[in-house]
Structure formats: C-alpha cells, structure tokens
Structure 1
Amino acid sequence: MLKCFSFFMLLWSSGVINAQTFFHGTIASGGKPLTDITIIVGNTGRGTKSDTNGYYLITNIPKGSHHIKYSGVGYYTHNVRINFTTDTVLKNIELSESSSQLKEVVVTGVSRATELRSNPVPVAVITKQQMERTVNNNIIDAITKGVPGVTAVTTGPNVSKPFIRGLGYNRVLTLYDGIRQEGQQWGDEHGIEVDQYGISRAEVVKGPASLTYGSDALAGVVNLIPYVPVNNSRVVTGDLTTDYHTNNGLIAASIGLAYKPSAWKYALRATAKSAHNYRNAIDGYVYNTAYQEYILSGMARVDKKWGYSQFSATVYDNKQEIPDGSRDSITRRFTMQVAEGASDDIKDRPLAPQDWLSSYGVTPIHQHIQHYRLYNKTEVKLGNGLFNSMLGWQQSVRREYNHPTLPQQAGLYVVLNTLNYDFRYNLPSLKGWETAIGLNGIYQTNTSRDATDFPIPDYNLFDIGAFLFLKKSFGKIDVSGGLRYDTRHIDWPDFFVGTNASNRFEQKADPNNSTGSRLQFPEFKHIYNGVSGSLGLTYNVSERLLLKANVARGYRAPNITEIGSNGLDPGAHIVYLGNRSFDPEFSLQEDIGLIAYLNDADVQVELFNNNIQNYIYQSRLDDEQGNPVIIVPGNVTYQYQQSAAQLYGGELTVNLHPRSMKWLTINNSLAYVTGINKNEALRAQSNDAAKYLPFIPPLHLRSQAKAGLNKSYGMFSKICVIAGIDMYAAQNRYYGLNDTETATPGYTLVNAGLSSTIKTRAGKPLFDLSVQADNLFDVAYQSNLSRLKYFEYYSTSPNGRKGIYNMGRNISFKIIVPF
C-alpha cells in the first residue's frame, strides 16, 4: 500500500501523468532492498539509481523495445529486454551477489562511463562499503590498503602522499570529483585536503593518464568521488559516523544530511577530527605529531531531461604539528625547540613535557593548512551526443610556524589560487566508434605573504591541453586510445629578500626598492610542451577470461619546487635547491594484463615496464669531503637531479570465494616494483649506492580472510570477521648515495577486525559497528616510505635504533548511524 501511494505521489508531483511512460519497480537481493543500483534504459540516455528502499522510477521512456541494464557493486549485472507498449511498466528485480568487479563501471581516465572489463588501462576501484568496513587515518590510507601497487610517503599518521608503482608527488594526479586537486602537493609534510567520510568511491588509474588530464598524471590518477544522495522523497536522510583510535586518541565525528524536495537535491557534511601524538614500542609518544582537522562540504544538484548541473563547495582547515626528531642523546626522549639561531643547540634542548605528549592541543611549532573549493559540473544532452563542462576555483593557504621565540610569526606563508576548467564533448556513435574531444587545464598564481622563509618564488602558471579519444569494439576485441597536446606557461619576476628590522628575520622585499636586500629568485619565463597518447586493447577470450595490453606516453612539466626552489621549507626541515634548466619528463609505459573470473576465484595479473626521460628526483647535497652541506642549521640540504630512469614490476591478485562456503572470501595480493637510476655520472661515483631510485616500495604481500555470517544473533546481524597480514620484504634496493636513503628491514603486521549491524528487537537497523586492530602484536617497524625514518641527529644511538618508528598497536572503533 505504501509503495502504491509513493508511486502515485511521484506521478502527481511530475504534473504530466498523461504524457509520460513510467517505468518503476524494486530491486532486492535475498529479499533485502538494494540501494544505489544503477538502472540504464538502452541508448535512450534515461537512467537512475535505486533509493534506500530499493525503489526506482524512470520517466519519459519512448515506446518500443529497450534493453534494460541493472548493475551495482558486489552484484551480477542483470540484463532484460522490455517492450514498452503501455504508459506504466512495473518490473521488480532480484540480483545475485558477486565478488567480481569485472562489470564495475569506471569514469576515470576514459571519455565516458566504461566497464572495467573493456578498459585496457589498469584501473582499480574502492567502494564506500569497503571504506566503511575498515578504519583509516585518512582517505589515502584506505586506498593503500585496498589497491595493490599503491603506497604512500608519510610524515606521521595524518600525512600521506599517494605513490603509484614507485612514482608520486606531482606525478600522481589527485582528483576530487574529477577536478584536479591543487594544494601545493610538492610539499612533503601535509596530506590530501579531502574529507574521508564524504567519499563514496575511489578510482585509481595505474599508469600514464596524461591523455585526458595532461601534465601531472605521469604515474596515474587517484579520483576521489564524493557521495551524491539518491533519495527521492521529501525527507531528510543522512548518517552520523564516529571514530575512536586508541593509539593516538583520535576522536572523529562526521554528519551528513541529504534532502530532495523537487528536481533539486541537496547534501551537506561536517567533519571534525582531533588526535594527540601517536606512540610505538621504541619511541613511546612521538612528540609533535598531533593534529586537528575540520571540514565542511555542500552540494546542490538539479537533474532534468536535458542533463544535470551540480554546484559544490568545500572548506578544509587543518592544524598539524611539525615533528623534527630532536632528542636527548642518552634517554632518547624527545626534546623541544625553545631558542633559535646560534642560541639553539639541537643536541641540548629541554625535554618535551610529559603532559604535552598526550595532549590534544597544538604546540607552537605547527602548520596551518586551509583549502577552499567551489565548482560547477554540468552535463547537457545534445541529441545523441553529450557535452560536459567543469569550472572550479580553489585556494590553498599554507602557513608553517617554526619560530618558538615568536610563535605568531609564520616561517612559511603561501597562498595558491587555482582556476580549473574542463570542456569535453562525446560525439554520437558513428559506425560503432565512440569519439570524444576535450580541452582542459588550469590558471594558477602563488603568492608569499608575511613570512620569514621563502623556498619558492611567487609565480604565475597557465596550462592548457586538447585531446582526442576513440573507442570501438571489433567482436571480442575492444580498442581504445587517443592523442593529446599540452602547453604550460610559467613565469615569475625578480624576488628580493631583506631583513625585518623589528624581528631580525628575513622578509619579502619591495622589488622597486631593493636597496639592502638580496635577489633570491631571479626572473624566469618558460614554456613547456608535450605530446602524450595511448593505445590499448582488451581481448574477451570469454565472458570470464580477458587479456589486456596498453602502451602509453605520459608527459609532466617540472613543478615549481623542482625548477624554482632556493630556500628552507620549515615544515619539511629541508633546504631545497631547484634547477631552472630542467626539461619535461616523458614516459613510455607498456602494460599487459590477464583477468580470469573462475567459479571459486578471481585472478588478476598486471605487469608493466616504464621508461622515463628526464626523471627528476632529490639527492642530499654533500661537500667535496663527503659531509652534508648545511645552509640552515638543523636542516638537510637536497638538490634536484635529472636523468633517465626505468621502473618495472607488477601486481598479482587472487581472491578466493569458494561456492561451497559462500560465507568465506580470502583476498590475496602481491605487488613488486624496481626503480633503476640511469644517471651514469652518479653511478660512476658509486654504482651500488646510485643504482636505484628513491622512494621505491619493497615487495608487499597482503592476505585477508573475511567470514560473513548471514544469520542474526540477537541484536547482531550482518556479522563480518576479518583477519589478515601485511608482509613487507626488506628493501635493500634504495638510493644510498650520500646516505639519502638507507636499507630498511622487512616486517609483518597482523590485523583483525569485526563488524556488525546492530538492530532492535523488531529487526530495525540501529547502527553499524566496526572494531579493528592494526599491528595487533605491536611490532616496532619503520616503513622505507616514512620520512620520519630519517629524522635523526646522532651518528650513534644507545639502543641501536635511529630515526622515528611507525605507529604501534592501534585498536579502533567506528559507528555509523543511518537515518
């Protein structure tokens, strides 16, 4: 009765009951309604998603015979043909569960939504359900746990920079809802400015994706797709998520609201996180790793016959402490900086107060990262074609406070403004060819404000590129590829630095009155150009066996720190020296893959070989005697290098789902990459030390068993038990010249978890509960991708341990309350 009432209310609200064809029904699995299932009606351009009750409604379907496709993550795709001869068609569908993702539809790195099975480029998907069933410190954490070949360079638990197959920083393009994230990603010491609780799925392209995105997608793309509500009623819906971590006392709360009164739908989310210093068995509490994070996001979207238009905005505010690793040489307890310059003896500082180590407050030595985003995405149906546009504005404000004698004075204070634009047109299909053309890029300005350190100049950047993408199926073979041309203009005027008479620190000087100041960044103008492209095919041997091959040429212009840096980044504790003569990087990567969906297992093999011209990387700068060059006391000096490089390796995934034990899945993955430095001049100094590239992850094996119990036990239902191991081999292939990196021992981490839906006696779900234990046996380890490993000021240590260790045992609790 309620469904009938809802249906006729929808007819009445449309105002055109006699002029439309109404196609509606419910979607379920095992008698339970399914939400967020996609329903597409042939080539009509009509489609929708099921709501929280499994209900769907599509209007304005032309009469005639149409192919209907029902698809959703974790379920077999259901196809049916329906002849629409009446005004109202009712179709209730039952879907079967599946652990295979072959039918998963992706939108990243392609011209239009494409099934994974037909895409020759390696792409991985992390769903909202997968993210909700695990507890993570940040969104990049969730991705590294779920995608083989993706790792992260970290500076503590809340700072993670994504790396794909050994390449990171500006080589990995991070997108938010398809818009390139611009937050001064050249810096080591702050993470991605995104709300992890507001992401519905993440798509990862492993390999050059410059074809559709241009510069900075040399290694691949991480596309973070925010949640778009699908509710169709005039009722406010949402969820409340809370997190607590025992190791660093993380307390997090996030509330999301959604409302759809008409053709418009609205969503709002607010998130707050706070954590004190993390700890491990070697270091105890790691001083100055606490943080506070606040995020607000909102969306308004209208869906019409002609397409849709969506307006979104986000506000991000993060205060993150800055560890420097200074300690007492005997007790190895952490010390705190209280003086500066000649008065600051880094090996004779006072001990950090004990009550500060477990305090949620932020110390004077910290950074303040703010990020603001406003954008519009619009899709317009033009006959059988589709036009998409995106216009966005972002502002990143980054302040780093490193003056204990003057805590209100920022050492680094830069403001980055970015305008994003993207226009693309999917032409009508012609003889089976799907064709798309596009134009996109950014305009960017960076300005230093009231600061004392100036690692990069003020600069202007304009980037534009055009592409052509083609796709066609020839029987069992799907072919896709295209070409792109990019140009980037970057310039800055003379940048002078003088002395501030009031505090004796340096300050930005007036270029029109440079008396008594020095020229830190001479004027610079340059134009970088690049051609990129790809060509690949998928051979559908059968419905369950696929072979893939792809070759792609990627392009990346040097970033601002690589060509322009000349000073201290106080948050990184590094003096960077760039090179104005650098050329763009170009890569040529070959990928081959095999996917087999068997009765009791999914098997996926991906192999790659990547040759890079003009590869840019950091190397510690030493003098002629082999001693580190110290320009600023207590800070290491790194100079950028450029040479040829080669990276090769692959990933193997074997997911077991025995039909005789439908309650059990065992997911296994193996990832390996080797990075070869082809700089012959450096290898001539020491072939062993300079043979390999920096920041290359070791061999990584992950295995996880998951048991799902379909029965209810009192108030507990949908019980899921998870146990797994992460094995990291020793990394003895590292960039060791001038002790830039050192060997890293291998280690194994054991993790376990339990999740369940808590319901009332009447069977109504109340909330979802997850309990997870990471590093269950409190193993003391150092990741070779942790920058804190190298925060050490002594040549010897009384306990034989040097640098800072990663987080110890952490038991976390998550509660999600839907409403």
Structure 2
Amino acid sequence: MPAALALLLVLAAAPAPPLPGGTAAGTLTGRVTDERGQPLDEVRVIVVEAQRSTVTAGDGRYRLDGLPAGTFGVAFNRVGYAPAVRRVTIGDSVVTLDVVLRATAVELPEVQTSASPLASTTLTSPQNVAVLGGRELTGALAPTLGETVAALPGLRSWSTGAGIGKPVIRGLGGNRVLTVEGGVRTETQQWGDEHGPNVEVADAARIEVIKGPQSVLYGSDALGGVVNVVPRDLPDAIGTRPTGRVRALVGYGSNNRSPDGTLILEGASGHVGARVTATGRTAQDVRTADGPLANSGLDAVNGSAAVGWRGRWGSVSATLTRRGERVEIHEDPAADPGATPFQRITDTRLRFAGMATLGGTSRLEVNLGWQRNLRREFEAEGDTEDDVAAGLDARQWLGEAHYHHAPIAGRVVGTVGAQATHSPFDRFGPERLIPVNRSTATGIFAFEEADVGRWHLAAGLRFDWRQLDVDSGANGRATREILVPAQRRTWTALTGNLGALYRVSDPVAVVLNVGRGFRAPNPFELYAYGVHEGTQEFLIGTPTLANETSLTTDLALRVQSRLVRAEVGGYLTFVDRFIYAQPTDQFDDDPADPEASGLREFVSAQADARLWGLEASVDVHPREWLEVVAGLDYTNATNTERGEPLPYIPPFRATYEARLTATRSRFLPWVSLGGETNARQSRPNPFELAPGVPVMDGYTLLQAGTGVVLPARSGVVTVDLVARNLLDARYVRWMSRFREYALDMGRNVVLRVGAEF
C-alpha cells in the first residue's frame, strides 16, 4: 500500500506529455433525459474502452475532457432505467451526445465487453452473453469461480468440495472453457478434476460469460465459451480534485463456519489512478444433512495492486496479483477413512496494458502478461514442502495487440489483432503424471461489426498455430513407468463466426450466431501415465491426438421492456474429434506390484460428438414492489460414434424466485423466496458411476433471503442475509466429484455486509 501511494504521488506530479502538433484535447459532452424530456442526474457515463467515467449533474449534463482519439462505446447507466450504449468517434473537436433513457422496473446488465471489440448491451450484441454484476454478483459470491456463476442459465460447476469449482458452459468444461482475469488467460485447470481456475471474484466489477465458441477473439480453449472476470476501472481525477474511495465486503457462512472479507482502497490525482485490494477467507469442514465431510476445509488469501495513467494520447497501467490457497480434499471414507490429502497453490500474475492513438480515429491496444501457477499436492495433514507428492509448476508469457481502425463508411467498426503465448511446464515430486514441456502459440484475427438499419451484423476470422515441445523423461510411479521420448507436436486451426441481430421493435430482438471453435489437446491428454487421484482412474495419454473443432448454431429471442426481461433460445453443436477418457478392460492390478492401485485403465480417445440444448430466462415486475425471476436449461450430449451419452453432462434444471422490495423506502428493504429443481440424470454415461452405484435422484433446494440498504453520510451500507438449502435437504449434485460417496452441503445461512465511502 505505501509503495502504491508513493508511485501515485510521483506520477501525479509528472506533467502529461504533449500531443504531437499541439492538438486540442478530445471532449465528449451532452445531456441525458428521460422519455418525457426531464433531465436525469446521477447517470453514470462511461467511455468504456478508454476507462473514463463521470456522472450527470442536476440538469442532466455531463462532460469528459482529455479523451483519446478513436471510436468508443459510451455506456449510460442509472437505477430504474434501461442501460444504453452509443458508439462515438472522438477526434480533436467537441463531440455532443444526447441520450434518452427508457424507464424500466427490471434491473438490466450494464454492458458487456468480452464478446466484441466495442462495448454493447445484451440487447444489441449478437453473441450470447450473460453478465453477473452489482448486487447480483454479491449475492452469488462463493469461494470458487465455478460456484459463483453456476446459477446462470446454461452454467454449472464441476466441483470437488467447497474449494474447487470449474465452470461448465452448456455441458462443456475444463479446457473447453477459457477463463480470463484482468485480460490474462488462466490455464490452470487442464490437469483434471481437482484443478480449478485460481481467480478471485469478490473484488471484480462483474463477470461476463460468453456461451458458445469464441476462438476468433481468444484462440484455443474457447471452444465452449469464455468466463471473463472483469476488474474495476481505475479511478481518474482529470479536471477535478484528487479523490479517494473505500469499499469493504465481509461475510460469514454458517455451514462450514466460513468468514471472508474484501477491502478495496482506490484513489486518483489528475491523470493517475491507483488501487490496492485484499481478500481473505477460511472455512472448516462442509456439513451435509448426514453430518460433516472430513478434510473439506479451505483457506485463501488474494491481494492485488494496480496503478495507471490516462491522457489524451492514450493510457498505460500495471497490475500485480498474488493468490495463495490451501484446499483440503475429502476422499471416500470407505476406501481410506483416515485420508487427509490437501493442495497448496500459489498463483502470481503481472499485467501491463497500454492504449495509444495512432492519428485520426484509430488506436492500438497492447496487453502483456505473465503468470506463474505453482501447485503442490500432499498426501497427509502435517506434510511440509519437503513432502510434496506431486508438484506442478506452470508459467505463461502472453502478448497481444489490437488495432482498432477508423470507421469504414461511417458504420463498420472493428479490430485486427495478433496474440502470442509461451507456456513452460515443470514438475517435481515422486508422482510424475505428465512430462516436462513447453507450448508456444500465435494467432492473428480480424473482427468487424456494422449497423444496417434494424440489423446489427458481426463477423470474425482467425488463424492459429500451436506447438508443443516435450522433454524426454519417465512418466508414472517407480514400480510402473514408461519413457516418453523427446518430441514436438504442431497444430493449426482456422476459425470464424457470423452473427446477426434483428431489432423487431425497440424492446424485441432476434439473434442468430454460427461459430467455429477449436481446442488443441493438452499435455495431460497426450502424455498422462499413472493414477489420477481426482478421477480414481489409471490414465494413459495418446500422443497422436488431433485438434478438437466445433460448429455451433445459436438462435434466440430477446425481450427487454419496462416490466419484462426475457430470453429463450436453443443451440446445436457438433464437435469433431471430441477428446475423452475411454475405459478399457485392463486394470492397474499387477500382483507383483506393491503399489498397484487396482483402478481401471482409461485411454485418451477421440470421437465425434453432438450437443444440443435449450435455455430460457424471464424477469417480470408485475408490480413496482414485486419481482419474479425464473429460468431453465437442458443439455443433451452424445458420442455419435459410440452411440452413448457423453460423461459429466448436467441434467435439466429450473430456477425460480420471488422478491418483494419496498421501493418507496429510502432503505429499500427486501425479502425473497426461491429455489432450484434439478431432475434426475436420465442419460448417464455407462462408466460415470462405479458398479452398483445408482443414478442419483432429482432434488429441490429452497432459498430465502432479506436485506436492506442503509444510506450513510458519504456512502452506503448494505446488509444481506440469505439461507441456502433452507430445509437442509439430502441431495447429491450430478456435477460433484463426491457424488458416489457423499452428500452435498446442507443448510447454509450467509450474512454479507458491504460498505462504500
């Protein structure tokens, strides 16, 4: 914290570099009114890509000076009104943008920035994007990213207890879903079920989820979709007095006695803004309706520091994030009742971002990132760093550049970009499941958008090259190992997407997307050899695996009116050469091997697959004080070559909630009652459950909550109390790794108090 503030003061004292030729600063000004022409104050106006913002005054007027040249999305947000996004081109002269906001009782997502180069709303974007932000994000917060987003239609969490949760989008998870945090790809979940994305969400501005292939913008691993954890914009004080802000969020969960807390300190002086954050949580053993799960606690500490400079020519920023986790792994008590394995994970990320105008109204954005994920697995409580059973040390260097060209014919905007990554992997400890390796990848792409009357059109094309170099070495345990020779594998892919949105009327739109994605096989699928404790399988990789490629068609109808927000749609995905673990008739049961596990052997295989599904959501305000929310989703997935269901596919689910809010009270007190109903999985893969273990029954979980907003002298305090699994039901999630031998979490009463000053 002292170092960040010192750097802030030094940069604040530095003069802004002059623009070549003495060009005048760009200015955006205007007035925001309602549908009756009355001015609206306290509207937040955000020039999204420039990360500049202000609020309207009492007469509805706003002004932002010192903006860089270029084409940007400008977002207008105010509680009680539908958000609006307009695209403007900033040059050397003053640009006036007046906006009329439409009143709405439904709270709508502000903007999305993940599925296109320029910001848009969900009503104006052809891509299928879900946004979780504001109090919805606070209410959904969980220790893992997967569990936090699991309630969104089409999403689930593939979990290993309370400490590990991997996002699943429309039945696809693991390395088929890319996680991005602060512009940096996180590639830490490719080693199996017990390895999730190590990302903190408590200090995020919002989470954006793209459903469907997004390889054009993100490359490999975005075959099923993208989960983008978007950080808060750094503050600025250009043209105003220095400013500072404090945000705090504390919580407590009754089930596993889990306190957590987040503190955010930020400030700005002139062109410079800075922020530091700290988050910590701890939890004891999870308690089910049948009792506690031994060895299921967790501890996590996350901290970050960021500093940035903004000016007429562009912006620069640097962010450092460090995270430490200790996660206990509950094992089958029938197999090993005294087992106490655990993991320690240290994740460090550094990001540099810059944006510069290039003359006219074009601009260049550059991101440079570095990440190290150090994972150590231990067999028993009390083990030290000298007792590591398996160590995984993954590093990544990332560089990408996006050139945003000037509008073509006044209506076509887009970007041309390039991306490169280099990811070395090392291992240590006696368990050697995959060899030492290094992967290098590059990609070039173009993405364009245009508004033509009632149509919004989008198209993209990308070429990727990926290379994997493997060092010679032994895989497996000392009593059963193989020698992997040094080798090199190379893959290429051509991907693209076409999207169209047709505005039937102001609140109604029809969207159609066709996209092609790809995923290169990871070292785990190619070269694994040995027992994987997470899946209880003896895994054998196949070095000759080819790319997975997909073709997805997505059709949806969207409605966003004053009283209703609704979306219903369906999708059809064909995946060529889908990679999966194929069971064999062989077992790791050599009587002469004292370390034989007795587990079935599984070999990495490929086959064509088909997935189709339905999603629907509705948010209705039949009265000013009453909100009713409901949703459903279903995925059907088949290995078309073998004629059997794909494994790890979630069953049908319906969610529902009614919320009453005293909207005319300054404290906005609310109460809610809702729940979710999960059907029995009627199409399990034959090898998903151990012999003799039945498919779990469907179940319903109820949830109740209440909360209040307490205005303070210079800020606001929120208090929320939510009881999850209200009736302490006995149930097992299909997407839980414990499903064969343990129930899921029982009743959990969560208290959260937030403050902002």
Per-residue CA shift, 1:250-288, capped at 9, x if unaligned? 011111100112211000001111100011112x11011
- Which stretch of structure 1 is more off in the superposition, 721-730 or 25-34? 25-34
Structure 2 residue runs of 5 or longer lacking an equivalent are 1-11
Per-residue CA shift, 1:383-418, capped at 9, x if unaligned? 211211111000000000015796541111111110
Contact 1:68 1:80 survives alignment (8 Å): yes
Contact 1:112 1:426 survives alignment (8 Å): no
- Which stretch of structure 1 is more off in the superposition, 165-174 or 19-28? 19-28
Q: C-alpha separation between the residues in 2 aligned to 1:261 and 1:599?
A: 39
Q: C-alpha separation between the residues in 2 aligned to 1:631 and 1:110?
A: 52
Say if 2:251 is the partner of 1:251: no
Secondary structure of the equivalent of 1:695?
Answer: coil
Contact 2:718 2:753 survives alignment (8 Å): yes
The equivalent residue for 1:615 is 578
Which residue of 498, 507, 514 maps to 1:551?
514
Q: C-alpha separation between the residues in 1 aligned to 2:468 and 2:87?
A: 55
Which residue of 657, 662, 678 maps to 2:640?
678
Q: C-alpha separation between the residues in 2 aligned to 1:493 and 1:323?
A: 34
Q: Counterpart amino acid of 2:146?
A: I
Deviation at 1:547, TM superposition (A): 1.1
Q: C-alpha separation between the residues in 2 aligned to 1:672 and 1:473?
A: 33
Deviation at 1:582, TM superposition (A): 1.1
The equivalent residue for 2:132 is 126
Say if 2:667 is the partner of 1:717: yes
Deviation at 1:105, TM superposition (A): 2.9
Contact 1:34 1:50 survives alignment (8 Å): yes
Secondary structure of the equivalent of 1:114?
Answer: coil
Per-residue CA shift, 1:748-805, capped at 9, x if unaligned? 0000111212346xx7655211101000000110011000113xxxxxxxxxxxx111
Per-residue CA shift, 1:271-324, capped at 9, x if unaligned? 111100011112x11011101101111111111111211211100100111211
Q: C-alpha separation between the residues in 2 aligned to 1:721 and 1:210?
A: 42
The equivalent residue for 2:705 is 753
Contact 2:236 2:270 survives alignment (8 Å): no
The equivalent residue for 1:343 is none
* Change in 2 beyond 3 A, CA 1:636/1:401: farther
Deviation at 1:520, TM superposition (A): 3.6
Contact 1:411 1:452 survives alignment (8 Å): yes
The equivalent residue for 2:6 is none
- Which stretch of structure 1 is more off in the superposition, 480-489 or 222-231? 222-231
Task: Report matched runs for 1:687-706 at 5 Å.
Answer: 691-706=644-659
Q: C-alpha separation between the residues in 1 aligned to 2:493 and 2:747?
A: 47
Secondary structure of the equivalent of 1:117?
Answer: coil
Q: Counterpart amino acid of 1:648?
A: W
Task: Report matched runs for 1:623-642 at 5 Å.
Answer: 623=586, 632-633=596-597, 637-642=601-606
- Which stretch of structure 1 is more off in the superposition, 315-324 or 48-57? 48-57
The equivalent residue for 1:471 is 449
Q: Counterpart amino acid of 2:735?
A: L
The equivalent residue for 1:708 is 661
Q: Give the length in aligned residue pairs.
A: 721
Deviation at 1:31, TM superposition (A): 11
Per-residue CA shift, 1:368-389, capped at 9, x if unaligned? 0110000111111222112111
The equivalent residue for 2:246 is 238
Q: C-alpha separation between the residues in 2 aligned to 1:418 and 1:51?
A: 42
Secondary structure of the equivalent of 1:789?
Answer: coil
Deviation at 1:433, TM superposition (A): 2.1
Per-residue CA shift, 1:609-637, capped at 9, x if unaligned? 00111001224444399999997427664
Secondary structure of the equivalent of 2:576?
Answer: strand
Task: Report matched runs for 1:334-373 at 5 Å.
Answer: 335-337=337-339, 365-373=341-349
Contact 1:723 1:751 survives alignment (8 Å): yes
Q: C-alpha separation between the residues in 1 aligned to 2:626 and 2:435?
A: 56
Deviation at 1:606, TM superposition (A): 1.6
Say if 2:744 is the partner of 1:744: no
The equivalent residue for 1:440 is 419
Deviation at 1:173, TM superposition (A): 0.6
The equivalent residue for 2:300 is 293
* Change in 2 beyond 3 A, CA 1:437/1:759: closer
Task: Report matched runs for 1:585-604 at 5 Å.
Answer: 585-604=548-567
The equivalent residue for 2:9 is none
Deviation at 1:546, TM superposition (A): 1.0
Secondary structure of the equivalent of 1:75?
Answer: coil
Task: Report matched runs for 1:90-489 at 5 Å.
Answer: 97-98=103-104, 104-145=110-151, 147-230=152-235, 232=237, 233-282=241-290, 284-327=291-334, 335-337=337-339, 365-382=341-358, 383-402=360-379, 408-431=386-409, 432-449=411-428, 451-489=429-467
Q: Counterpart amino acid of 1:288?
A: N
Q: TM-score, normalised by structure 1?
A: 0.81
Contact 2:619 2:629 survives alignment (8 Å): yes
Q: C-alpha separation between the residues in 1 aligned to 2:474 and 2:651?
A: 43
RMSD (Å) for aligned C-alpha atoms: 3.8
Per-residue CA shift, 1:136-157, capped at 9, x if unaligned? 3333322122x20011100011
Task: Report matched runs for 1:567-582 at 5 Å.
Answer: 567-570=530-533, 573-582=536-545
Contact 1:73 1:104 survives alignment (8 Å): no
Per-residue CA shift, 1:418-450, capped at 9, x if unaligned? 00111111111112222321111310100012x
Deviation at 1:20, TM superposition (A): 6.8
Per-residue CA shift, 1:10-40, capped at 9, x if unaligned? 9xx9999x98797779989999964754268
Contact 2:105 2:562 survives alignment (8 Å): no
Q: C-alpha separation between the residues in 2 aligned to 1:307 and 1:160?
A: 38
Q: C-alpha separation between the residues in 1 aligned to 2:147 and 2:126?
A: 26
Q: C-alpha separation between the residues in 2 aligned to 1:299 and 1:263?
A: 14
Q: C-alpha separation between the residues in 2 aligned to 1:474 and 1:185?
A: 42
* Change in 2 beyond 3 A, CA 1:260/1:581: same
- Which stretch of structure 1 is more off in the superposition, 302-311 or 470-479? 470-479
Q: Which runs of 4+ in 1 moved over 6 A?
A: 13-16, 18-33, 51-55, 66-69, 78-82, 87-94, 624-631
Contact 2:657 2:672 survives alignment (8 Å): yes
The equivalent residue for 1:340 is none
The equivalent residue for 1:807 is 745
Q: C-alpha separation between the residues in 2 aligned to 1:286 and 1:80?
A: 52
Q: Counterpart amino acid of 2:701?
A: L
Task: Report matched runs for 1:70-89 at 5 Å.
Answer: 70-71=76-77, 75-77=81-83
The equivalent residue for 1:788 is 738
Structure 1 residue runs of 5 or longer lacking an equivalent are 1-9, 329-333, 338-362, 499-504, 508-516, 684-690, 791-802
Contact 1:39 1:70 survives alignment (8 Å): no
Contact 1:26 1:33 survives alignment (8 Å): no
Per-residue CA shift, 1:114-143, capped at 9, x if unaligned? 333332221111113311244533333221
The equivalent residue for 1:352 is none
Q: C-alpha separation between the residues in 2 aligned to 1:816 and 1:668?
A: 27
The equivalent residue for 1:7 is none
Contact 1:102 1:115 survives alignment (8 Å): no
Contact 2:329 2:342 survives alignment (8 Å): yes
Q: C-alpha separation between the residues in 1 aligned to 2:57 and 2:697?
A: 48
Q: C-alpha separation between the residues in 2 aligned to 1:114 and 1:588?
A: 25
Which residue of 637, 654, 676 maps to 2:618?
654
Return the structure number with greater strand share: 2
Q: C-alpha separation between the residues in 2 aligned to 1:574 and 1:185?
A: 16
- Which stretch of structure 1 is more off in the superposition, 803-812 or 113-122? 113-122
- Which stretch of structure 1 is more off in the superposition, 737-746 or 24-33? 24-33
Q: Counterpart amino acid of 2:364?
A: F
Q: C-alpha separation between the residues in 1 aligned to 2:541 and 2:567?
A: 41
Secondary structure of the equivalent of 1:152?
Answer: strand
Q: C-alpha separation between the residues in 2 aligned to 1:95 and 1:196?
A: 30
* Change in 2 beyond 3 A, CA 1:573/1:234: farther
